[in-house]
Structure 1
Amino acid sequence: HAGLIHFWISLITSCKTFYIQSHLPEMESKVSEGGLNVTLTIRLLMHGKKGETVKKMREESGARINISEGNCPERIVTITGPTDAIFKAFAMIAYKFEEDITNSMSNSTATSKPPVTLRLVVPASQCGSLIGKGGSKIKEIRESTGAQVQVAGDMLPNSTERAVTISGTPDAIIQCVKQICVVMLESPPKGATIPYRPKPASTPVIFAGGQVRADPLQLTKLHQLAMQQTPFTPLGQTTPAFPGLDASPPASTHELTIPNDLIGCIIGRQGTKINEIRQMSGAQIKIANATEGSSERQITITGTPANISLAQYLINAR
């Protein structure tokens, strides 16, 4: 009986996978009709801004398409709407990119046509589902769509989002986006997301030892965003953190204790997570060694009030 049950489970799983891959548009409409997918928002990174093109895409796709403002070489394009409207918008973007590539090749000596490439911006908490256990999900998406998909190992600066790069023919990209939408619907983001905001071209970025740090004003803005998303007050602090924007506030130190059974998820494998928190907050963070008989570990955070508050928020989020 056990063998027979295993056989039926395998058969049902195979049929389910085949159905998702073969009938994705129908599945999407059923998700929408069931009220599970009122709207979906997809973010991607682009260069430049073409007002007339975007206006046409809005009208023909039915999706809401917004482009971030500011003096930035990169722009965040936000596409919101029912899944069918999002797919139409992505189809128009992919074919427009291919048209641009074709036009640029007419003045070039290159013989091989480069693929269309899009960069999605996805909350880091959803990237695990997109990759799948042992890379199984991302491999399945690559093989079934013919598109190349890469999930960045590091989060985008001053955010909790990662870049997901998709390359291929327009048709492959459309199918790939459909499958990514299904994953995002099935696995909503966990906790608060700090969205990636491209830096203005004029903002200096300091590269030191492989780390990228924003200036104090950028950290202040990021802190304020973090505070808006989670009702969290820094330890011992009852007044607003930033009565004025002092470019170089004095450094101070805060200590907090974390239960031993939670310290692993804050440190991460080989220290990856605590290093991300150090990089994003700009604070120095030291974790004391385990003390015999104690169920807690002490964490010491040193930096400006903005650094400390952001580090505490990120530790809480972990």
Structure 2
Amino acid sequence: KCPQKNIISRKMFPHPIKVQSEGGLNVTLTIRLLMHGKEVGSIIGKKGETVKKMREDSGARINISEGNCPERIVTITGPTDAIFKAFAMIAYKFEEDIINSMSNSPATSKPPVTLRLVVPASQCGSLIGKGGSKIKEMRESTGAQVQVAGDMLPNSTERAVTISGAPEAIIQCVKQICVVMLESPPKGATIPYRPKPASTPVIFSGGQAYTIQGQYAIPHPDQLSKLHQLAMQQTPFTPLGQTTPAFPGLDASNQASTHELTIPNDLIGCIIGRQGTKINEIRQMSGAQIKIANAMEGSSERQITITGTPANISLAQYLINARSEREQALMLMGVCH
């Protein structure tokens, strides 16, 4: 029995902790998964039969978020052995779906099973390890591919952790991730990611946002439009340390500042675009200065530095996140873009 471990576990998971007779901990914990609509449909099954069987056979509680959203949160709660059984059943179900889809496809190589965990950002450093050592160890010992998203999910303090590979490799990887999460509880309050309902694409023209409906562009006066207008009204690069507002009526909070974020190497290409077209588009839309650091040897991520007013930075972040999330979705579906 280890009192210290009990304390750590309770900090992270407000659930009961059972101490097994052989002295090992059997912690009741909660893991959140991010799934697309098609994946959720596969888990639910006809008349809910599949998810019902998963609940009964694993002993875990499996809840699926409501709402007409492209993405849904699947929450799995239970003792560790039940969690791993539920993950195994989900991974094997996805593999079955892949095999079935291949019977109607000319593709010869079987794509890997992919699951996305939603993890508090404050724990991601422990998952990556110093210089990427921990994530490298996970990849090598399990055979699964593991990627930690460079930025937080919208309006949350959580990041997506993508695991790809054979079901057996995914299960082993999830076990190792759970151990790290228990050993390194999240710091501070966690704002959970809540997927938003499906929305139509937004384009900008003359400082106004529009949504595309059929062949027409309809004015779209939402928060993003206001953010874009605010960004364009302000000096893109107010000198740092300037004490007077750039424009009358704007206070010191509108001075330029710098924000840094990291993006996985495999997504940086979609952010830059062919001959820098995409990153230049983001610079033009946001009014922010954006610099992408050179690739560092041994690192799986690239650093992006954004400079500008708070409005410039917010819009640049939004556009970068939207671009990377779209690319991740296409990668998950096996589409090259």
Say yes or no: does 1:286 pair with 2:283. Answer: no
**Residues 189-228 of structure 1, C-alpha deviation per residue, up to 9 Å, x if partnerless?**
1101111111101477678999x99999999999999999
Q: Work out whether residues 252 and 303 of structure 1, in 8 Å CA contact, stay in contact via their aligned partners in 2.
A: yes
- Runs of 4+ residues over 4 Å off in structure 1: 12-18, 30-37, 203-210, 212-318
> Distance in 1 between the 2:264 and 2:138 partners?
39
Distance change (3 Å), C-alpha of 1:35 and 1:312: farther
SS state at 1:71 partner: coil
When normalised by structure 2's length, the TM-score is 0.53
Is the Cα contact below 8 Å between 1:206 and 1:213 reproduced in 2? no
Structure 1 residues 156, 295: closer, same or farther in 2, change over 3 A?
A: closer
SS at match of 1:216: coil
Partners of 1:97 and 1:261 lie apart in 2 by: 23
User: Of 67, 90, 103, which aligns to 1:70?
Assistant: 67
Cα offsets for 1:153-195 (capped at 9, x unmatched): 0111111110100000000000000000000111111101111
Are the structure 2 counterparts of residues 277 and 197 from structure 1 closer, same or farther at C-alpha, using a change threshold of 3 Å?
farther
CA distance in 2, matches of 1:265, 1:209: 25
1:195 corresponding residue in structure 2 = 192
Question: Would the aligned equivalents of 2:115 and 2:163 in 1 still touch at CA under 8 Å?
Answer: yes
Inter-partner Cα distance in structure 1 for 2:302 and 2:102: 59
C-alpha distance in 2 between matches for 1:91 and 1:293: 31
- Distance in 2, Cα, partners of 1:254 & 1:67: 34
Residue 14 (structure 1) aligned to one of 4, 9, 12? 9
Deviations 1:26-71 (A, max 9, x none): xxxx979769654211111112998221111111100011000001
Conserved 8 A contact 2:60-2:79: yes
Moved more, 93-102 or 198-207: 198-207
Percent identity between matched residues is 93
Verify the 8 A CA contact 2:138 2:176 in the aligned structure 1: yes
Tell me the residue number matched to 2:245. 240
Q: Deviations over 1:6-26 (max 9, x none)?
A: xxxxxx9999999xxxxxxxx
User: Counterpart of 2:54 in 1: which secondary structure?
Assistant: helix
| Distance change >3 Å, CA 149–CA 224, structure 1 → 2 | farther
Pairwise CA distance, 1:75: 0.6
Aligned length: 295
Contact 1:217 1:245 in 2 (8 A): no
Tell me, what secondary structure is at the counterpart of 1:285? strand
Deviation string 1:73-108 (CA, Å, 9 cap, x unpaired) is 111000011110000000000000000000000011
Distance 1:133 1:115, change over 3 A: same
CA distance in 2, matches of 1:151, 1:225: 32
Give the direction of change, closer, same or farther, for the CA distance of 1:142–1:290 in structure 2 (3 Å limit): closer
CA contact (8 A) 1:145 1:176 kept: yes
Q: Which stretch shows the higher mean deviation, 104-113 or 272-281?
A: 272-281
Structure 1 contact 278–311 (Cα < 8 Å) conserved? yes
The root-mean-square deviation of aligned C-alpha atoms, in Å, is 11.6
Judge which range, 198-207 or 160-169, deviates more. Answer: 198-207
Alignment CA distance shift 1:59-1:289 (3 Å): closer
Cα distance in 2 for partners of 1:82, 1:230 equals: 54
**Quick check: 1:223–1:309 contact (8 Å CA) kept in 2?**
no
Query: Aligned partners of 1:267 and 1:203: how far apart in 2?
Result: 23
**1:121-159 CA deviation, whole Å, 9 max, x = no partner?**
100000000000111100010000000000000111111
Larger deviation, residues 173-182 vs 287-296: 287-296
Does structure 2 retain, via aligned residues, the 8 Å contact 1:43–1:78? yes
TM-score between both structures, scaled by the size of structure 1: 0.56
Q: Which residue of 2 aligns with 1:221?
A: 226
**Inter-partner Cα distance in structure 1 for 2:157 and 2:179:** 21
SS state at 1:38 partner: strand
